Structure formats: structure tokens, C-alpha cells
Structure 1
Amino acid sequence: MPHGIDGIDHLVIAVRDLDKAREAYARLGFTLTARGRHTELKSANHTIMFADDYVELLAIEEPSPATAAWSEFLKTREGLAAAALKTADARSAQAELAAAGLSGGEAVDFGRPVDLPEGRRDARFTITQVAPAATPGGRMFLCQHHTRDVVWRSEYLTHENGATALAALIVAADDPEAVAGPYATLFGTRVEPRGVIRVVQTGGAPIVVAPPAALTHLWADDPVLSAPRPCFAGFAVKVKDFYAAQQVLQKSKLPTIAGEGVLRVASRHTHGAAIAFAETFDLARVLPG
């Protein structure tokens, strides 16, 4: 793919209370990493790790210019604020983005200490922002991992709910065609029409752009569908076994809607990000065209 991008690396859910967010996602059957602190950025996180991608719960501990976008987002709501994209070389990718008029700034290095059985190590990253105009609905940045062995640990990859991978990033938009177009440009793919829905392949989990009327089929009157649009509304997760996942979600006591082979949890219970769980996220079946 162009611009040094190789799919979606992780999704970032910005939250105001990290402890409460961790508790909510643990109740849903996810295994979360210990709290991490980004030394340079003055932010804290927990991550939900899968084999090739993950979800990050992020909170701001101390306002700074580096985290101003997150702080601004949290003034309005919690929820999916950004998607990080895989890259093997963030600085080289930044040069490609700049040449294409898609760069949002220079590359930044940062890290967080991680306590491991063999001792403390630093997880190190280099990120570079994509121009906000190129990603309507939410921010995107490229993320290069320098210490994958510190971030992807076997003890965090097994989840009680059977989750194995991200299945889709879901964007709510009044004009899906107009919103999907810039994503196709960024990823060097094309917009795939699916009735009123538009899909953009990323090399990893696809981006699904849908009007609120279509998304109500999944999440009814979810509050996130009333947020200013376009917006990153939620995400889908692949699970090993639908019925096993359903049992875990029922045990959580968080309201869950089941139908068409999909389990749905509303954003009001997940700090602003609507979630769908399924063995196979079949758009033709779960979203009206």
C-alpha cells in the first residue's frame, strides 16, 4: 500500500476515567494489560491485545501540546478518537505523506516502561500524524513499533469472550461516499459500494462507512449515533465462538443485543464506543443495504 501503511494497527478509545473504563472492558471478557504510562506524552493506557492488532484505552494524566487533540475530544465525549496505522518506518512514511499532501506533522518518538517477569523494559514507538482532512470522522496516525516483543505478550492474547481480532472500524456519516473517498486515497484502495454503505479495505480490518439509519439496525438508539457526524462510532471484533461469547456477555450484566449472528453492546456501557462481536462480520447480513 502507498504511504508506508500496512493496515490498522490499533484503535484508540479516549476516556476520562481509566479505572472505570478498564473495569467495563474487563466485564466484557477482555484481558487488559497493566496500566502503562507514556513518559513523554503524560498519558496512561490499558491495551486489549490480539494477534495482529489491538484496542487501546487512553486517558490524559497531564495536559500537554502532544495530547491536545485527545483533550479537545474529551471535552465533548468519550469514545473512539483515533486509529493507528501499521508502518515499518514512520519517518519514511511521513516523507511519503508529505509528498502527497497528507502529512499532519513530523514524526515523534516516545515510550512507556513495562514491568515484565524478566525485569522492566521500555516499549518504544515512533508515530507520525495523518492530516485531519484526510480522515473525516476521526484522527489517524502511523505507528511504528520498535519493541513488539514487549507489547505483544502471550499472556495478554487470550480473552474470556474469545476475541481474536478487529473485524471493522465503523464510521457514521450522512454522506458515506464523500467520507469513504479520502480513506480510499490514503490506503490506495477503492470505495466498495454495499447499498447505502461504503467499505474501504485497509490491509487489515476494513473501514465501514454507514449512515445512522443503517447503524441503528445494529445499535438501535445508541447515543454515539447522535454525535456530530462523521464520527468513529464503533468497531467489530471477531470471536472464536458466538455462543461462548454470548455467555460471557450475559454474565457481565451489561445489556447485550443478539441477532443475525452478532452481539451488540451500546456505547453508553463502553465509554463511548459501540461494539459488535461476531464469528464473521457479514455486512450483507447484519447491515441493511
Structure 2
Amino acid sequence: MGHDISGLHHVGHVVRDMERALERYRRLGFTLPPPAYPAISAAEGTPAEPFGAGNTHAYFPRDFIELVTVVDDASGRIPADAHLIPLEVPADRLPAVVAAVRGTAANLAACLRRFEGMHILMFDSPDVEGAAARLHAGGVGHGGVHAVQRPVETREGTRLEPVRYLEIDGDDPATARGRVPEGRIGLAESPSAEVIDAQRRADHPNGAIGLVECVLCVTDGELAGVERRYESYLGRQATGSAVKRVFDLGDAKVVLVTASALADLLPGERPPALTDEPRPGERTSASGEPLPGERALASPAFVAYGVAVRDLAATERFLRESGLPVERSAEGDLFVPAAAALGVAIVFHQYTSGGS
């Protein structure tokens, strides 16, 4: 029987400063187009201003990395080459669209309050409707299947490609819809042949050709519970050890690792705070920390993602010539530490015909 999840669709790196993130990712060897920002006019006749969130993508044939940031009215840091996308919707629908964009931005802002880094993971699905039915039958809450359109540069020019997706809801009623403790998790339908062809033409100086891994760090006592949760998401079981569990998705994998074992997997790495914001109504100190006796929620955190590259030795030369620190994982792969990659370690794997 086939699986309704077949790999990784994209990972999302939430950053504070898009301009800085673009510089860093290009230095890492990823090709990214100028970021896009939704824009709206505050009053008739006034120029459209960016709001909500902005993003850009490093594309591979079947998947991509998303860089996303919140529009900060205080700093107003929008890259000079950013594309503003005016919202062109009927007046009666505009309030709902604006509210949805602001809701997305609020979720991203909550992620940034934890830490700058990876907070989004979307799985690839050849059968979104079937996956939605399976999740529902297994008691996994989600917001249903929705459709959006994204621009794709084809050989015939730019076209809007429909994409169907769903977002998984957390079990805590105090958590926003479409958000689980580690961020935003969901699935999106597999790309069409035309999209694959278009994205295949993206060339990355570091030799990257596809997403193959994400690593989720959990507190030592929570590994079994998080593993059960991901079993329900993915419809398959994990293998591994008492401190590291691996879900094999075919051409990619999801790794769960305990905080105490993270440095064994990625030497020198330390997990970010494995706690979430206090629950609404909880008392906090001036720094935002829960007061004694108040609860902070234990939350996993994405600490790394991995890409396959054509030639690992060439990738290492490129990264070192770019002045970036390069380390070796326990499995012998290269990685740039989270401290040098804006909060998430990036692992580079040698491409093999059975692995990407």
C-alpha cells in the first residue's frame, strides 16, 4: 500500500531581517529571487504599503527552502529589490483577506519570540484528500484542504500554479489554529511536471539539488510522545535508538533527537530554548519568563535541515572560500552551524541515486 506522504515539500526559515538573510543565504550558495511582500493602500489614492509577511524561495526540482519574515512597522526594513504584490480582491472580501494575512504574520511573530530559525515544515503528498481523511480518522485536527496559487517561471513565461495544502492543528486549545508546539506543520500536494521542470532550472553555486532531512530536537522526557505524534502525521513508524528516532520518507527523512544527544549528532550544536510562550493568563517576569509556580510549555524545536549536493567536496570548498565555518556531523556530512546560519544548522549530504 502506498503512502500519502512521500517526502518534504518545503521547510520555512523565519528570519528577523530579510536583507541580512538574503545576504547570508547567497553567501551559503543558494540562489534566491527578490522577496515578495503583499501590499495594501491605507486609503484610496495612496500608494500600496507592504504589510503582513514577506518571503522568497530557494527552489529545487521537487521542493524548496522558504525564507520568511514579518513586516515590522517599527524598523521598516524592506529590501530595495523587493516585489510589492498589491492585494487585488473585491472590497467586500478585503477585510477577511487582510485578517488572514495578519493572522499569518502573528503566528510568525510568535515563532520569532521563541527564536530565529526553522519553524515551518510541509510534507509532500501525492494524495492530499486521502491524507486529510486519514488524519481525521486518526484524530489529528487540521483546517481542511485549501488551495492557493503561486507564480511559477515556466518556459512560456510566468503562470499561476494552483497548490492544495492543509495545516495541522495542535492539541492545546490555547494554541492558534494551524500551529503545533514546534511551529507550522502540514502537507502540500506534489508539484506538477511543469513545476518540476521550471524549478529544475534553478542553479545553486553550492551544488544543492534537494531537501533530504529535517531534525527536530525534543526534551529527553518527551521523545516517545513526539514520536507518537509524528507517527500519526506520517502514517508510518520510526526506527533508531533510545535518543534518536528516524522516519524514512523514501527520498527524505525526519529525525527526532533528544536535547542531550544533539551534540553527538551535530557536534557543537546546542538546542534553542525547548519551551514555548507561557499560556495566556500566566504571570511572567519583566523579561517574559514564567514566574515561579507558573508553567512554560515544553516544546520541541527544529534545529537543522539537510540538502543533497552533487559533489560534497566542491560544496566544502565553496563554503570555506565564502568564509563560513564548516563542521562534520556524526555521520560524516558537512554542516554550517546554526550560529552562522541565522538559527538553524544546514547539513549538506552527498547525493546518491537512492537518496534524493
Please give the range of the TM-score, normalised by the shorter of the 2 chains: 0.7 to 0.9
Shift of 1:38: 6.1
- Secondary structure, counterpart of 2:325 in structure 1: coil
Shift of 1:2: 8.2
- Which of 60, 65, 71 is the matching residue for 2:70? 60
Residue 191, structure 1, aligned to residue 238, structure 2: yes
Amino acid paired to 1:277: F
Question: Residues 219 and 195 from structure 1, CA distance in 2 versus in 1: closer, same or farther, beyond 3 angstroms?
Answer: same
% identical equivalent positions: 29
Shift of 1:252: 1.6
Alpha-carbon distance between aligned partners in 1 of 2:21 and 2:164, rounded to the nearest angstrom = 26
Corresponding residue for residue 147 of structure 2: 109
Corresponding residue for residue 263 of structure 2: 216
Alpha-carbon distance between aligned partners in 2 of 1:73 and 1:250, rounded to the nearest angstrom = 31
Residue 250, structure 1, aligned to residue 320, structure 2: yes
Alpha-carbon distance between aligned partners in 2 of 1:192 and 1:39, rounded to the nearest angstrom = 46
Shift of 1:42: 4.5
Normalising to structure 1: TM-score of the pair?
0.82
Alpha-carbon distance between aligned partners in 2 of 1:221 and 1:56, rounded to the nearest angstrom = 25
Alpha-carbon distance between aligned partners in 1 of 2:107 and 2:332, rounded to the nearest angstrom = 36
- Secondary structure, counterpart of 2:228 in structure 1: helix
Question: Residues 83 and 20 from structure 1, CA distance in 2 versus in 1: closer, same or farther, beyond 3 angstroms?
Answer: same
Contact 1:38-1:110 at 8 Å conserved across structures: no
Alpha-carbon distance between aligned partners in 2 of 1:35 and 1:114, rounded to the nearest angstrom = 14
Deviations 1:91-129 (A, max 9, x none): 554344333321321333333445667444324323211
Alpha-carbon distance between aligned partners in 2 of 1:89 and 1:190, rounded to the nearest angstrom = 19
- Secondary structure, counterpart of 1:161 in structure 2: coil
Cα RMSD between the aligned structures?
3.2
Deviations 1:136-192 (A, max 9, x none): 534311213676635743331x32222222221101112323322211222121121
Question: Residues 20 and 101 from structure 1, CA distance in 2 versus in 1: closer, same or farther, beyond 3 angstroms?
Answer: same
- Which of 259, 266, 275 is the matching residue for 2:346? 275
Shift of 1:27: 0.6
* Aligned positions, number: 280
Amino acid paired to 2:24: A
- 1:259-270 map, 5 Å: 261-270=332-341
Stretches of structure 1 lacking an aligned partner (at least 5 in a row): 282-289
The structure number with the bigger radius of gyration is: 2
Question: Residues 138 and 202 from structure 1, CA distance in 2 versus in 1: closer, same or farther, beyond 3 angstroms?
Answer: farther
Alpha-carbon distance between aligned partners in 1 of 2:266 and 2:7, rounded to the nearest angstrom = 26
Corresponding residue for residue 292 of structure 2: none
Contact 1:242-1:261 at 8 Å conserved across structures: no
Contact 2:227-2:238 at 8 Å conserved across structures: yes
Shift of 1:16: 1.8
> For structure 1, which segment, 90-99 or 196-205, has the greater mean C-alpha deviation from structure 2 after superposition?
90-99
Amino acid paired to 1:180: E
- 1:137-152 map, 5 Å: 137-144=182-189, 149-150=194-195, 152=198
Corresponding residue for residue 168 of structure 1: 213
- Secondary structure, counterpart of 1:104 in structure 2: coil
Alpha-carbon distance between aligned partners in 2 of 1:52 and 1:232, rounded to the nearest angstrom = 21
Contact 1:4-1:93 at 8 Å conserved across structures: yes
Deviations 1:223-255 (A, max 9, x none): 544443411111122222221111011012122
Contact 2:62-2:191 at 8 Å conserved across structures: no
Contact 2:215-2:305 at 8 Å conserved across structures: yes
Normalising to structure 2: TM-score of the pair?
0.68
Question: Residues 14 and 250 from structure 1, CA distance in 2 versus in 1: closer, same or farther, beyond 3 angstroms?
Answer: same
Residue 231, structure 1, aligned to residue 276, structure 2: no
